[in-house]
């Protein structure tokens, strides 16, 4: 249920209503709008009738049910879009179209530094790179682990780029938090509920990728775990789903962008690298993502894709990435988005 406060309700009125909500066994989640405050009552839906009686309290306008099953991720409690501020050079949401670029996996000092310098020069907002890699085969390269995190810190020190790296399990959370500005939850972990709960208190934004067989509703229900556990900074990511099609690695579901925008205030990114699996399809789909309303892209870039230890076939060379940044400029202008480091949204933040 949502308790909508009157426009002129006092702080005491609000405090009193929160007290009553908590006394009924619910968690009160206050949203501060421009004109008025609303309070989400989180808990067992069976107590709806009791909550309705809060309508009698001073300062309360009305009490209405939250219709969607993802109460914090949905638009009813928070209609205006959320902007996740990562650094003065990286804001995700609003007018900003954020570009996160880098290799699938951190492989060596030379590889990550060379990539970081190039993507920074081309205008990327953040550097991606996996230190812990979820691989289908146990015999494949699993990532450099802690050494990979050290190399990411080095790249950040030199370029100032925010770091995006994957967190595979909650037992290494403390270690990854120290090196990451955004914690990436991979497709395979979208429904790892103990991990999602742990990320509630991570104190860093979470980039939640859609599972390869997950519906849009399931993605939002997973985001809800992180939000309900206390972390408001969740960024969603469409990265392609499994279909009968074999010409591409996955089917990049761009329908998901307007469908998510209609259901949630959370920013939405697109991953055209995993979404296609083919480097030459990446730029067209990145541009499509920008045109259809995504808040940014996360794209794989490697100085020598033919030598990459993972996902070389879908990685852009450094010059191809720079070309893509240029090709996106007129599209960004046409759809009213800011592209590049230190864009208006970041500087305001």
Q: Provide, rounded to whole angstroms, the least separation between the CB of residue 273 and ligand PEP.
A: 8
Tokens of 14: 């609000």
Residues in the interface with ligand PEP (CB under 6 A) total 10
Q: Which is nearer to Mn ion, 40 or 130 (CB)?
A: 130
| 93-112 footprint of Mn ion as x/- string (CB under 5 A) | -----------x--------
Contacts of 117 (CB under 8 A, 6+ apart): 158, 159
302 scored as a contact of ligand PEP (CB under 6 A): no
Q: Are 118 and 321 in contact (CB under 8 A)?
A: yes
| SS3 of residue 154 by DSSP | helix
Rounded Cα distance between 108 and 145, Å, is 12
Q: Provide, rounded to whole angstroms, the least separation between the CB of residue 315 and Mn ion.
A: 8
Range 149-172 burial, b when 16+ CB lie within 10 A, else e: bebbebbbeebebbbbbbbbebee
328 scored as a contact of ligand PEP (CB under 6 A): no
Contacts of 280 (CB under 8 A, 6+ apart): none
Q: Which is nearer to Mn ion, 233 or 311 (CB)?
A: 311
Q: Provide, rounded to whole angstroms, the least separation between the CB of residue 185 and ligand PEP.
A: 8
Q: What residue is closest to ligand PEP based on CB?
A: 186
Rounded Cα distance between 348 and 148, Å, is 32
Which of 37, 71, 156, 209 forms a contact with ligand PEP (CB under 6 A)?
Answer: 209
303 scored as a contact of ligand PEP (CB under 6 A): no
341 scored as a contact of ligand PEP (CB under 6 A): no
Interaction partner, residue 43 (Mn ion, ligand PEP, none; CB < 5-8 Å by kind): none
* Residue ranges of E strands in the chain: 2-5, 27-32, 37-42, 60-64, 84-87, 90-92, 96-102, 126-128, 162-166, 182-185, 206-209, 234-238, 268-270, 296-300, 338-339
Q: Provide, rounded to whole angstroms, the least separation between the CB of residue 301 and ligand PEP.
A: 12
Contacts of 122 (CB under 8 A, 6+ apart): 101, 318, 321, 322, 325
Q: Which is nearer to Mn ion, 238 or 311 (CB)?
A: 311
168 scored as a contact of Mn ion (CB under 5 A): no
Contacts of 343 (CB under 8 A, 6+ apart): 91, 95, 96
Q: Provide, rounded to whole angstroms, the least separation between the CB of residue 35 and Mn ion.
A: 44
Which of 131, 187, 236, 299 forms a contact with ligand PEP (CB under 6 A)?
Answer: 187
Interaction partner, residue 187 (Mn ion, ligand PEP, none; CB < 5-8 Å by kind): ligand PEP
Interaction partner, residue 117 (Mn ion, ligand PEP, none; CB < 5-8 Å by kind): none
Interaction partner, residue 239 (Mn ion, ligand PEP, none; CB < 5-8 Å by kind): ligand PEP
Binding residues among 66-105 for ligand PEP as defined by CB under 6 A: 104
Interaction partner, residue 134 (ligand PEP, Mn ion, none; CB < 5-8 Å by kind): ligand PEP
Rounded Cα distance between 116 and 156, Å, is 8
Q: Provide, rounded to whole angstroms, the least separation between the CB of residue 58 and Mn ion.
A: 55
186 scored as a contact of ligand PEP (CB under 6 A): yes
Rounded Cα distance between 5 and 293, Å, is 32
Contacts of 256 (CB under 8 A, 6+ apart): 210, 216, 238, 268
Q: Are 66 and 76 in contact (CB under 8 A)?
A: yes
In DSSP terms, 207 is beta-bridged to 184, 235
What do you get for the CA distance between the two ends of the chain, in Å? Answer: 32
Q: Provide, rounded to whole angstroms, the least separation between the CB of residue 66 and ligand PEP.
A: 30
Rounded Cα distance between 299 and 137, Å, is 23
Q: Which is nearer to Mn ion, 249 or 261 (CB)?
A: 249
274 scored as a contact of ligand PEP (CB under 6 A): yes
Binding site for ligand PEP (CB under 6 A): 104, 130, 134, 186-188, 209, 239, 271, 274
């Amino acid at each position: 249920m949502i308790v909508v406060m009157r426009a002129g309700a006092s702080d005491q009125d609000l405090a009193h209503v929160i007290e009553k909500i908590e006394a009924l066994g619910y968690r009160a989640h206050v949203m501060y709008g421009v004109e008025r405050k609303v309070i989400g009552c989180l808990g067992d839906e069976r107590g709806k009738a009791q909550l309705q009686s809060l309508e009698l309290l001073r300062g309360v306008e009305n009490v209405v049910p939250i219709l969607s099953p993802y109460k914090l991720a949905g638009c009813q409690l928070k209609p205006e879009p959320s902007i996740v501020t990562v650094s003065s050079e990286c804001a995700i949401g609003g007018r900003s179209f954020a570009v996160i670029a880098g290799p699938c996996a951190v492989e060596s000092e030379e590889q990550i530094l060379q990539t970081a310098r190039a993507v920074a020069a081309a205008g990327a907002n953040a550097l991606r790179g996996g230190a812990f890699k979820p691989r289908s085969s146990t015999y494949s390269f699993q990532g450099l682990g802690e050494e990979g995190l050290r190399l990411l810190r080095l790249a950040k020190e030199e370029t100032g780029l925010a770091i995006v790296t994957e967190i595979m399990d909650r037992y290494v959370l403390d270690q990854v938090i120290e090196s990451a500005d955004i914690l990436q939850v991979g497709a395979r972990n979208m429904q790892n509920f103990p991990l999602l709960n742990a990320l509630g208190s991570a104190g860093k934004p979470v980039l939640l990728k859609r599972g390869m067989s997950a519906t849009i509703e399931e993605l939002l229900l997973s985001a809800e775990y992180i939000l309900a556990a206390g972390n408001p900074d969740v960024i969603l990511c469409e990265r392609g789903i499994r279909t009968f099609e074999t010409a591409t690695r996955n089917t990049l579901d761009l329908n998901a962008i307007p469908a998510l925008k209609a259901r949630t205030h959370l920013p939405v990114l697109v991953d055209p690298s995993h979404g296609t699996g083919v480097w030459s399809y990446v730029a067209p789909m990145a541009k499509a993502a920008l045109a259809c309303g995504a808040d940014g892209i996360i794209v794989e870039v490697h100085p020598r894709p033919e030598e990459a230890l993972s996902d070389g076939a879908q990685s852009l060379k450094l010059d191809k990435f720079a070309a893509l940044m240029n090709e996106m400029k007129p599209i960004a202008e046409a759809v009213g988005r800011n592209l590049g480091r230190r864009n208006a949204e970041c500087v305001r933040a």
